Every structure is written in C-alpha cells, then in structure tokens.
Amino acid sequence: MNLHEYQSKELLSSYNVPTPNGYVVSSLELVKKYITEFENYAVIKAQVHTGGRGKAGGVKVVSSEIQAYNFAKNLLGKNLITHQTGSKGIKVNQILIEEASKIEREIYLSIVIDNTVSVPVIITSIEGGMDIEDVSKLMPEKIKTTTCSPLFGISNYKIRQICKDLVIPENLKNEFSQIILSLYKLFIENDCTLIEINPLVITKDGKIIAVDAKINIDDDAI
C-alpha cells in the first residue's frame, strides 16, 4: 500500500524524524488560514499517488496569500497529469500546505528490500532532489548502497561511513545517525517495502528535515 506524502510524514514524525510543520486541506478557506500562519511563505503540494508532481505543476513554493490561493484553486478538484498517470491524470482532492525550509543542501535517502539478497539496504546520494533514476544514469558513482543485517540491523560503523559519504557536518553527525536508526526501526516495525526521503535537507540554520517522503507498506501486513 502506498501512503500519501502527508501520511508518510505523520509516520516519520511518530518516529522522531523531523518534518516541516504542515496541514492537509481540501478547501480554499483553509489555505488562506494556514498561509497566514506560515507568514505567507509555504510549499503547496498535491496529495496524489504519483511521482513527478513537481514537474507536472503539482508543487509550488508560494510567498503571498493570493499566490497560495490561486495555486490551490488550480489544483483542488482538477486532474494532475504526470509521466506516470497517463493522459487522464489523477484528481486532486487534498493538498498539503507546509512551512517552507531555507535549504542549504539536499540529500537522497531511502531504505528498500534488495530481493537479490533478501535484506534491507540503505541507498544514499549527495544529489538529493533529483530523480534517483536520473542520478543512476548520469552519475552512478554518487549513489551509495549499504546492506543491513536482518538480525542486527544497521551497525554503527556503517552509519559512520554513510555520514562520510554524504559529507555530513561534524556537529550534525549524531542527529543524522539517529535519523537513520529511527528510519530503520520504522521500516522493520511497519513491514515497509520502501521509505524514500528525497530530499532530506540540511537547512541554512543547521537543521535536518525530511521535506518530502514516500512510504510503501507490504499489502499483506496491512
């Protein structure tokens, strides 16, 4: 089962993984309310099960009430067409409006099951924000894969190597390591088949935030 972004972030938050403050809305009046709460600077995202929302016009950073209202008006109740949906698209019934982050760096981070060896693997890249398929084609050397033990999970020395690969600042290594441990715990306890955070950002004021998230749960575990 695929979770919506807002559902994925609720699950992340329950495992103490930092996410932006945000609200799921289905009315334009609530958009007006929450854009004011975020001091007229926010991100609005269509909540539909498809990749490529940004390229299809389903994601926008807004900096005024009128901009937020007009963008939401053009999304709610309309069909969003991406490269994955086909020509009919998917109807947008809900949107996520959340606090915009001032981004310093973007990182790709995911956990999946590697069916060739039947264990979870952590995939990372310093090229966050890009489609991982594009990175694998254009810059395969920038994708790192870390195998986890089914019995012992992710070891500390492997986490230290991930920090090194991603050039995590020294003052953030402990927090970043805890995020990886929390994600792995979430993955195992909820029978996930995928956790993808793209991007996980380091903000200009030194915070680590999952600004986008995708989680899939094994259908038999539901």
How far is residue 161's CA from residue 165's CA, in Å, rounded to a whole number?
Answer: 6
How far is residue 119's CA from residue 127's CA, in Å, rounded to a whole number?
Answer: 24
Residues belonging to the active site: 108, 196
How far is residue 119's CA from residue 213's CA, in Å, rounded to a whole number?
Answer: 22
Say if CB 96 and CB 69 are below 8 A apart. no
Q: How far is CA 196 from CA 8, 28, 72, in A?
A: 10, 29, 26
Structure tokens at 105: 């760096």
Q: How far is CA 15 from CA 100, 120, 163, 183, in A?
A: 22, 18, 20, 7
The phi-psi region of residue 144 (left if phi > 0; otherwise alpha if psi is between -120 and 50; otherwise beta) is beta
Amino acid at position 65, single letter: E
How far is residue 56's CA from residue 76's CA, in Å, rounded to a whole number?
Answer: 14
Number of neighbours of residue 96 by Cβ within 10 angstroms: 20
